[in-house]
Each structure stands twice: as structure tokens, then as C-alpha cells.
Chain A
Amino acid sequence: MQVEGSGPHRSATISVLVENESGVLARVIGLFSGRGYNIDSLTVAPVEQDQRKSRITIVTSGTEMVIEQIKAQLDRLVPVYRVSDLSREGSHLSRELALIKVVGIGNARQEALRLADAFRARVIDATTESFVFELTGATDKLDAFLDLMRPLGLVEVSRTGVAAIARGTRTI
């Protein structure tokens, strides 16, 4: 017999198509905090302006039973159109964007610029003693780049959280 809390944990990327109305994000977040679920990343923006729809992408983790619960709980919220577990429904793409400020002079500054080039990060602002890099990619790529920047003068990061979509012709 399977009991809640048992079994291995997995990470899940869940896309939720919702009515773009006030309070909808609070409803989703309240559901997670009220029932003790994890939120590793959360992204929201309107996607179909004329139809008043927004898309929320949530990266969460838990046992299989908990993740099935999360999906069912999200699906029964009144302003939710559809819930899609991208990590279970075929392969999908996940991307995140980060703005990264690195302050420094001399060799550290040059090394930061060389690594940024290797990671295909763009320089979107520069002074004689700072850069702001823009980097897009999967979460682990961003994490790796930030690890490299840390000893080179990393002072500030702003990340968007994950946006995700299914490969191929499949839609939410």
C-alpha cells in the first residue's frame, strides 16, 4: 500500500492556463502554502491578451502522490482552464533569463567577459568597473554561470523563473 510521503521525490514542471483576473496568482500561491507544497520556481504573464488568459509555470517537487495532488488541486480552482505536467507529457523545453551584475577591474573583469562570451551571455550595460550580462538558458546553465561569476565580482542577480513549453505540435 502506498502512503503519502513515501516513495521517491521528483521535480515537476507544471504549466497552468488561467483566467487573467485579480487574485488568481494569490489563489495558486495560497494553495501551495496552505497545503505545504514546495515552489522551486514560479513565472506568470498574460499570454492571450484578447482572451484574458495568463500562463503560470511552476517548478515543484514531491512524491508522485503529492505531485498528482498538486495537479488535481490546481485543476479544481475556478479560474483554471488547464493544467499540464510538462515533465510527464513527452519532452519539453525550459528556459530562464537572468540579469547578472559583475563589478571588478583588471584580470577578474577580463575573465568575466571571456566566460560570458563562452556562455553566450550578452553585455547589456557596461561601465569601466562593471558589466550587466543577460543570459538565457536552462536553469542548470544559469546556475553554472553564476558559480563562475561569484569569485569574479558577482554583486547582484535578477532571474525570471522558468518558462516552459512542450516540444513538437502538442499544446497545453
Chain B
Amino acid sequence: MSIAADSLHVFTRELKPVLRDPFQLVFSLVQPLTFLALFGPLLSGTTGQPLSETFQWFVPGILVMVTLFGTAMTGSNLLYEIILGSHERMLVTPVSRAALLVGRACKEMVPLVVQAAVLCLIAAFFGFRPHIPGLLLGLILLAILGMGLGALSYALGIAARKEDWIFWAVQQTVLFPLMLLSGILLPLSQGPHWMEVISWFNPLTYLVDALRVLVEGDFADPAVWQGGIAAALVTAVGLAVGIRSMRRSL
């Protein structure tokens, strides 16, 4: 079988628990909805702008946050499958190691796009008015980013297979700085210069900027292609590292 066919089978397998139990998707919307409900009005009050305008700036960042937190945790599923034994069984099937990773990483795109769409719909009730083609392109960028972040999370899960606490320790250490240093919650231009400099090395920054211009329908803004390159780069690195890890995952 080809890698594409193998990956499709793995993708389908991974998607089944999500489709059988969609409540988990609803539950994972609690965190971003909390941010929208509590941080949105706070931001609106601080800036003195109406909530609808605040959401126009804030929602794209929340979509990137959903992508980051949703996909970063996924490696724990593989980690437990390694510990409990089902991953070993998968390794003895004829499916290639690359497909085992690619199929899993591709699956990450589905829940995050669904969640992002639901969030946009809810935000629309409070005045969020995205440019639809721009939003669709933004969701594609997020899907690509999610695949890369998912692949990295799987690689981390594999790396932590003998000491599972490492997975959670790295998550805790990395996720919040990544989020804060991407301008998801507040514009970094308002902070100290060194924070802005660090954010230039954070690929999420470019995705947040890209989504903010895309929901305004500004396709010509350089932030769009910069966001695309950042997403592609994360995915390329994620898949390379992830496939390499999968080959050594016993």
C-alpha cells in the first residue's frame, strides 16, 4: 500500500473516537469560550473600543490559541497508547512508520477547524464579522499549523514514553510562553521591546498577524504570506521530527 493510502487508514482510525464522541470537542471549547466571554469584555473596557471591534482583533488570536492548545495535547494519546500497548500492535501492521505519523497529524486538522468554525459562529452573535474568503484561507493556514504542532506533540509523546511526566512538564513550560509571546491576548507592540524581538522568532506570531488581516479581507498584506510560510515551516519541521521519532518509537 502507498503512504497516502496507509495515512488515510490511520487518519480514519484516529478520527473515529472523535466522531463517536463529539462531546469532547464541545468540552474543549470551554477554555476559548471563557477567554472570549471574560477577556474580550476586559480588553474592550481597557481599550475603550466596542466589543464587536475588539472581537474583530481578538477572535483570530483565539483561533490560533485553539490550534495551539488543541493539537499540543494530542501527543498524550499516543503516549498512553505506547504505554498501554496498542501502539506496539500498530507497529507490527504493514503500515509504514511515516504513515502512522502523517495520518495522526492530518487528523488534527479536523477538530480544530470544526472548533474554530463554531467559535466564529458564536463570536458572530457579538459582532464579529469576518471576511468569509479570508476566514476560509485563515482556517486552511490553521489546519496546516495544527498538523505541524500535532506532529511535534506526537514526537514529544514518543520522547517521553519512558518517563511520561516529561510530556506534561514540557507542555507546561512551552505553551504559555508561546501563547503570550505571539500577541494572541495583547498586542506586543505595547510591551517592552525585548518581548517583541522574541516574538519575531515565534511562528505563532505570524499566524496571528495573518489571521487578523485575513478576517478583514486584506489578502495583499505581507502578513498573509508570512503566516503561510510560518505554518508550512512548522509542519515541515514537525513531520520530519515526528516521522523520525515514529521510526524509533518502540
| Chain B binds chain A | no
User: Which residues of chain B have a CB within 8 Å of any CB of chain A?
Assistant: none
User: Which residues of chain A have a CB within 8 Å of any CB of chain B?
Assistant: none
